[in-house]
Structure 1
Amino acid sequence: MRRRLLSSTLLVAVIGVLLLGIPLGVAVNRLIEEEATQELSSQAKSLLGEVEYARIQDQPIDPEQLKRKYPDRYIQIYAKGTPPQVTTVGDEPPENHKMTQDAQSENGVYVAVSRDKTEVEREVRAWLLLILALAAAALAVAVGLAIVQSRRLTLPLSDLAMIAERLGSGDARPSKHRYGIQELDRVAEVLDRSATRISDLLAREREFATDASHQLRTPLTGLTMRLEEIVAAAHEPGIVKEEGEAAIVQAERLTAVIDELLAAARRQRHAQTEVVELDDLLDQQFIEWGPVFRRGGRQLKLSGTRGLQAVGTSGGISQVISTLLENSLEHGDGTVTVTTSDKDRSVLVEVADEGEGIPEDLAPRVFERNVSGAGGTGLGLTLARALAAADGGRLELVRPRPAAFALFLRQVGDPGRKRVVSGPA
């Protein structure tokens, strides 16, 4: 591309120089010749006047004086009389290089002034050489400008090609390069926007993979516990049936979690809330987590108001409570108490334990992504708060020591019960 730009610019410059230089050379040649002719004509008329004045004054013509006054000129003077007077001054130039202008009066005086044309040709050649030098300088400037312009155009294009190749290889960093050329800057802006979108897509995919691994761990743990209970109670048919049904419930919950995570990854989760019976939901959670707490020598306790209803999604509320119970099991201590109440136009589900709680410096950031004070993933509470917000509720840390989390849900009859929400952030 650079070679094509150079050749095309040079061609345009040559054509421009030829279109301007040739007419200029012809015009300069004619102008110099016309100036020389007009000078000879003016000298001939002036000399004719001097000769006429000398004849009126009856003074002779002095050739030496004329030679000094008109140097490098060949002068011929003819005057009528008896006999006629003929006067010549200077050396006659060669016939093929001779320029002559004459003048004649009514009294019979004829004057001719000639000069050597070689001097005029020399002056013409000097001007033509100057024009050629200017043309060569113009071509050199054109080549220089073409080189600069070609570098200005080709280097940004090469840079944009490298950026596009980098995007194709997965490096989605915006370049922020601008080149001072409107069209190239627009292409660079489009590539930067594409890089930002690709970066967001990659980040969402990574977050989805991380969130999926975290959210699927709890249902899989519950399913594993149910299967272990089945194996342990294989000699008791009634217990096997009960534990098998619980395992099916865990599998169904696992499927629901996968569906919600996939929808959240595509940003197309439009969950419409419904009336949820908290007693049924909490009973199911106690069935799932009760054996785990018993094996750990800890107690799981339910207290508060029964028969409460809230507006939300069963899957979302179950995941939030399951996350809180798992955190209490792993990071807390003592009895875990789940308390339900109904106040301030909200249905409250509080999960508290008797452990050391959350450090003061960590408490304000406990819901931030990747923040964990006990070697965890730092994702559970972040996702739980996002799920609570998706159902129109909120999840708060109401007491850091010992830790107590409260899930605020909307009451039945809340005006926003049919709100359409997006997936977890």
Structure 2
Amino acid sequence: MRQRVVRVALTAALVAVVLLAAPLALAIRSSLYAGQRDTLERTALAAAVRVSPDYVTGDPVELPKAPTGGHLGLYDPQRRLRAGSGPRTVDAAVRDALGGDVVRARSGGDLVVVVPVSHAERVIGVVRASSPVGAVLDRVLVAWAVLLGVTMVALAVAVVVARRQARVLAAPLEDLSRHCRAVADGDLDARAAAGGIAEIDQVARTHNTMLQGLSDLLRRERDFTANASHQLRTPLTGLRLILETGLAKDDARPALREALDATQRLDHTIDELLRLARADGMPRSPLPDRSVPELLQKTEERWHGLFAHDGRRLELAGGLEADDVRVPGAAVEEILGVLLDNARVHGRGTVRLTVRDLGEALAFDVADEGRLAGHPAHLFERGRSAGGGSGIGLALARDLATRLEGRLSVTRTDPTTFTLLVPTGDPHDEEPGGSGPAR
């Protein structure tokens, strides 16, 4: 691209110089020849005023000095040279000037100007001034040489400016090309920098916007894959235990009904993960659709068998018996599932799920008898886990809580206690209430 810019700029400069220099060269030539003729005419006129009417009778005529390399002579009406220097055989210019007109001509390689001398309305002679054409031609060639030198300097300056502008224009495009190669090699964090050229910067901004959208899309796809893998593993384990228990009994219908409920919960889990991974980012909070007692009952049915299989206890407690307090059931159940699974895998002893009414919000406390090591904030970072896990579940739970316009946090480290705050008013009108006190 740089060579192309230089070629275009040089071609434009060359065309401009030719269009300007050619007429200027002709104008210089014409001006120098006209100036020399004007000089000859002034010299001839200066000589003509010195000619006395009786020069023919013997009064000598004193003519000015002749032009350098040329001649200055006085001719009478009989076309004879009376004074000065000039050709003995008169030319057509002298003959024409005897008619009373100033004549400019070229004769025998000379520029000639002939001026008539008049007295009493009669031409009594002519003054002929001449100079070699070669002298003027030498001056023309010198002027043309200077013009050619200026032209070459102008072209050299145009090349220098074009090369500099080519670097300025090509640098942002080369940077954008390097950025695209880095993206093609897998570096999705690379971003094109501004280069100071509005049009190229607009392309870079559009490219960065597109790349940001692709990066967000890939991140959501990766998060969905990881979340689905994490969230489906425990329900599938529970489903397997239900089916194994049913196979050990003569009547498998209760186990099949329980397995059907488990598959419905799996379907709800997938729906929640898909909603979380929607392309428009965090969607609006879902509407409350389930009472707290119903939610606690479903949670106990889902998790009691898993804790019992591990030889541990799950205790549920809460002071909410009325059905008029409702929460987004699927999302809250999914978050509580993450917290209970985290307590089952990484905690110890009895696990307690407690519900507290804080007025504008409900607090769901999940506590076990273990002790949390490390900084609590690191637990919610995707890819990090204090207990050797994948670090996906708690990050997913916090994302779900944010979608509910609630909050998930660690309220105690010994024993380990997680608290989920869920607003009980219209989630689209107000923010959730304050956090519950640490236990």
Q: Report the TM-score range of the alignment, normalised by the length of the smaller protein.
A: 0.7 to 0.9
Q: Structure 1, residues 128-187: CA drift from partner, whole Å, max 9, x if none? A: 333334344444544555555556556655654565566567653443333333222211
Change (3 A) 1:319 1:246: same
In structure 2, the residue corresponding to 1:118 is in which secondary structure? helix
Shifted more, 258-267 versus 159-168: the winner is: 159-168
| SS of 1:18 mapped into structure 2 | helix
Match of 1:307 in 2: 321
How far has the Cα of 1:330 moved from its partner?
Answer: 1.5
Letter in 2 for 1:121: L
Partner in structure 2 of residue 287 of structure 1: 301
Unaligned 5+ residue runs, structure 2?
90-105, 431-439
- Aligned-pair distance for 1:62? 6.8
SS of the aligned residue for 1:274 comes to: coil
Other-structure match for 2:437:
none
Please say if 1:263 is aligned against 2:275.
yes
Distance 1:227 1:270, change over 3 A: farther
- Distance change (3 Å), C-alpha of 1:297 and 1:152: same
Partners of 2:402 and 2:322 in 1: CA distance: 20
Q: Distance in 2 between matches of 1:20 and 1:141?
A: 16
Once the two structures are overlaid, the 10-residue window that deviates more, 98-107 or 117-126, is 98-107
How far apart are 1:52 and its partner, in Å? 4.3
1:303 counterpart SS class: strand
Deviates more, 1:276-285 or 1:252-261: 276-285
Given the alignment of the two structures, is residue 320 of structure 1 paired with residue 335 of structure 2, yes or no? yes
**Paired residues, what number?**
404
**1:277 equivalent in alignment to 2:291:** yes
Does the 8 Å contact 2:404/2:427 carry over to 1? no
Report the counterpart of residue 406 of structure 1 in structure 2.
419
What letter corresponds to residue 190 of structure 1 in structure 2?
Answer: T
Q: Name the CA distance, whole Å, in 1 between partners of 2:176 and 2:422.
A: 52
Matching of residue 88 in structure 1 with residue 84 in structure 2: yes
Q: Is the 8 A contact 2:73 2:81 kept in 1?
A: no
Contact 1:73 1:91 in 2 (8 A): no
1:109 Cα deviation after fit:
5.6
Given that residues 353 and 404 in structure 1 are in contact (C-alpha distance below 8 angstroms), is that contact kept between their aligned partners in structure 2?
yes
Amino acid aligned to 1:250: A
Amino acid at match of 1:241: R
2:372 aligned residue: 358
Task: Name which of 337, 341, 348 aligns with 2:352.
Answer: 337
Give the CA deviation at 1:345.
4.1
CA contact (8 A) 2:235 2:266 kept: yes
Provide the rounded CA distance (Å) in 1 between the counterparts of 2:163 and 2:389: 60
Mapped pair 1:206 → 2:225: no
Write the distance in 1 (CA, Å) between the matches of 2:411 and 2:331: 21
CA contact (8 A) 2:285 2:428 kept: no
Q: 1:122 to 1:347 in 2, by over 3 A?
A: closer
Give the aligned residue type for 1:247: A
Q: 2:101 maps to what in 1?
A: none
Residue in 1 that maps onto 2:136: 120
Q: Please say if residues 358 and 402 of structure 1, whose CA atoms lie closer than 8 Å, have aligned partners that are also in contact.
A: yes
Aligned amino acid, residue 72 of structure 1: G
- Per-residue deviation at 1:283? 2.8
Give the aligned residue type for 1:221: T
Give 1:201 shift: 1.3
CA shift for structure 1 position 251: 1.0
What's the CA shift for 1:221? 2.1
Shift of 1:300: 1.9
**Between 29-38 and 132-141, the greater mean CA deviation after superposition:** 132-141
Work out the CA distance in 1 between the residues paired with 2:409 and 2:67.
115
SS of equivalent residue, structure 2 residue 270: helix
Distance 1:121 1:257, change over 3 A: same
**Structure with higher RCO (Cα < 8 A, 6+ apart):** 1
1:41 is matched with 41
Q: Distance in 1 between matches of 2:269 and 2:389?
A: 20
Matched, 1:385 2:429: no
Q: TM-score by structure 2 length?
A: 0.78
The 2-side partners of 1:415 and 1:262 are apart by 23
Q: How big is the shift at 1:306? A: 5.5
The question of 1:223 aligning with 2:235 is answered: no
Using the size of structure 1 for normalisation, the TM-score is 0.80
Superposition RMSD in Å: 3.6
CA distance in 1, matches of 2:320, 2:30: 116
Distance change in 2, residues 1:225/1:125 (3 Å):
same
Query: Distance between the aligned counterparts of 1:42 and 1:416, measured in 2?
Result: 105
Question: What residue is the counterpart of 2:23 in the other structure?
Answer: 23
Work out the CA distance in 1 between the residues paired with 2:54 and 2:383: 119
The Cα shift of 1:407 comes to 2.9
1:332-379 CA distance string (max 9 Å, x none): 112222233434344333222112x213x4124433433321111222
